[in-house]
Chains A and B, each alone.
Chain A
């Protein structure tokens, strides 16, 4: 064999392969878009893209912890909707700011509770997460429709929610700052805490984790709770951004949220993946949707482009893994 040089130790890159692949794909999209529409490179446009991407980014942050465990959370859409609906309902119940602003807390509490139920079903009752979270999603849907369904309920966000959703601090959209804060928390948790280390170990092998006496169940429950919090938070931000909560508001975030994590190089079987990839994956998906909209691509073409990007990227990771 002649390619001996290939086997030499490669220098370590500051970013991992999947993150790099996402960044390259993002740059390619910017070039393609920019060649046709010069305004593509304007900071206003880019900031606006990141702002729309933030909802997806926060959802995928929560989804990633669950996927790292080899599980999945399909209750994202109605957890988002429930968080936003409950928050705006509290807001509508009393105009006094000290009451209406507790709406945010109520929304987070709803998210955490749904996450807790998800976690208990998966970790303790040991029901496959794909079934259990699909079921909880349907239950929340039913409950929300039952209580608020056929006539208009209070759906106005509070001042604080609006500030989060549309306000700016030092020129940066607040929602972007919120995404950055969530991201820093996830990065810190995964890299620097025993809980983060345990996520990777439980995700690699729950049996070994159990025999090693790691708190496997606690790790699973905590991760579902975190995912629920992220979904509810994203739902409330979306309500603040859109100026109201509405049914099915979370629907467009389920599959893209999972896709962002997988595009970012996290294995659906658990145990492997870096958070930087998830962030890059969320940006890539958002930008792709935006480029296709600007080009006024028909819906069918959008779906094809969307599918092709996933196939190419994930196929590339898979090839790379089987080679090494």
Chain B
């Protein structure tokens, strides 16, 4: 352990009347991986933004290497060696991977133009350092990469600036299992070189594996800092939420209670991405799509939603009354920043976007009913929001996701299609969303969910379809729905069902 490279005293941040950080005292040493834990809205992201220079504190003082600092921009912070990788992806889709990596300070030729050859060399070296050199084509456009690889680009962008304090704000939440390992090795190596790594993550096992020090935040306050391993998971969760949690996933339903078929997908194909996909989804059922990232899971949901052109095969939706072709559905998209929300618009406008018919006549809005409608949704999903008129982008990630869900639930769809709905969300909110989905299923909805989290597939879903190279490699349910089976089907290693194991024994 090195010296305290980072020191905060009495640092606070207020937005209007809301206190995001409340006089925080905090220290971190160089050569350590320091995890920051807390629920959504605990102040973790605000703290990181202060350090990264995107916002300035309302009060208090920050010191780096014992010298007081006041970052007015991310560039100033980077100059002092503080670099942040944010949860929100900020790669420029139309530029190449190499151009994105070198974006902040591109290498120049002697004429002052960007030196593409060196740019590519730099990018190659960084990815090789990260241990993912083979997986990334630095010439490719970022828009062509799946989310997981884009996140790697984001990490490379930060590393190229040689940080002394590296902040990862949920920067691993979109990584697939195969990408997480190299990133973890890289972080350990950086630590050994004397870098301070501040890690925000909701993946507890990642924190257990990586962090040497942990600090817990709650309601904008610094609750406690302890050596990793000094507290049990149970204690940590209690510190984070101030109450014990019993069970993350709700009780699954009995397959006998499932109703009629709601969604029938028959020999669905699309370009070379989807091949002959057939499955059905029944009322009351929660079915998960799993497997390695980018095997066509997202395309299946998009094809079912009618967003893709040139789809072969048939998709049939059955309505609540059993009539064919009348079922309504909602697609809760992967990236709530671009597909799900009108970020600068108010929470109220976002909540009421889908259900305008409920509070308007001949296109004229009844504002009292509109207000009541939005309030009703806020209460139903327990969205933490003070003022319906505040912009939805000011809410925490978990609450934003709740707004997306609320806006769709308001129109009462028969079928719910979800893409990683709990990505980057804290345990408490995750649990609420699981509970909600299970209640919806019990009320007769059919739910199809693409999740990159194996835990979620096992804990939440009644059945999991493992997708490999545009095909359904396995359908796992009941006792066969285990992490081992998911992994082996995802990697095409063959499934071992309990029955087969018995037969072998």
Contacts and interface: CB of A to CB of B under 8 A. Distances in A.
Nearest to B336: A208
A192 B56 contact: no
B331 interface: yes
Given A192-B367, A204-B342, A212 B407 contact: yes
A4 B58 contact: yes
A143 B356 CA distance: 42
A20 interface: no
Nearest to B354: A212
B339 interface: yes
Contacts of B16: 7-9
Interface in B37-60: 56-60
Contact of A7 (B14, B333, B407): B14
Given A7-B14, A208-B340, A211-B339, A271 B345 contact: yes
A8 B56 CA distance: 16
A256 to B, nearest CB: 28
Nearest to B338: A207
B342 A211 contact: no
A36 interface: no
Contacts of B365: 192-194, 197
Nearest to B59: A1
Interface in A260-301: 271-272
B407 A205 contact: no
Interface in B341-374: 341-345, 349, 352-354, 356, 360, 363-365, 367
Nearest to A324: B15
Interface residues of B, number: 30
Contact of A208 (B57, B58, B341): B341
A195 B360 CA distance: 11
Interface string B249-285: 0000000000000000000000000000000000000
A213 B354 CA distance: 7
Interface string A1-35: 10010011100000000000000000000000000
A271 B353 contact: no
Nearest to B12: A4
Nearest to B333: A211
A201 interface: yes
A305 interface: no
Contact of A197 (B56, B59, B331, B349): B349
A9 B363 CA distance: 34
B17 interface: yes
A200 interface: yes
B356 A204 contact: no
Interface in A201-222: 201, 204-205, 207-209, 211-214
Contacts of B356: 194, 197
A271 B339 CA distance: 16
A201 B353 contact: yes
Given A7-B14, A197-B356, A211-B339, A1 B345 contact: no
A5 to B, nearest CB: 10
Nearest to B362: A193
B356 to A, nearest CB: 4
A140 to B, nearest CB: 31
Contacts of B333: 211
Interface in B284-339: 331, 333, 338-339
B363 A208 contact: no
Contacts of B338: 205, 207-208
A190 to B, nearest CB: 11
Contact of A4 (B59, B344, B363, B364): B59
Contacts of B353: 197, 201, 212, 214
Interface string B368-388: 000000000000000000000
A192 B345 contact: no
A204 B339 CA distance: 12
Q: Which of A194, A195, A205, A211 has the most CB of B within 10 A?
A: A194
Nearest to A271: B344
A9 B16 CA distance: 5
Given A7-B16, A9-B16, A213-B354, A201 B349 contact: yes
A209 B341 CA distance: 9
Contact of A200 (B14, B59, B60, B349): B349
Contacts of A204: 342-345
A192 B360 CA distance: 9
Interface string B147-184: 00000000000000000000000000000000000000
A189 to B, nearest CB: 9
A214 B356 CA distance: 10
B344 A8 contact: no
Contacts of B59: 1, 4
Given A7-B58, A8-B17, A193-B360, 17 more contacts: A8-B16, A192-B365, A193-B364, A194-B365, A195-B363, A197-B352, A200-B349, A204-B342, A204-B345, A205-B342, A207-B338, A207-B339, A211-B333, A211-B340, A212-B354, A212-B407, A272-B344
Interface of A: 1, 4, 7-9, 192-195, 197, 200-201, 204-205, 207-209, 211-214, 271-272
6 shortest interchain CB distances as A-B pairs: A204-B342, A194-B356, A9-B16, A7-B14, A9-B17, A193-B363
11 contacts: A1-B56, A4-B14, A8-B17, A9-B16, A197-B353, A200-B349, A201-B345, A205-B342, A208-B340, A208-B341, A213-B354
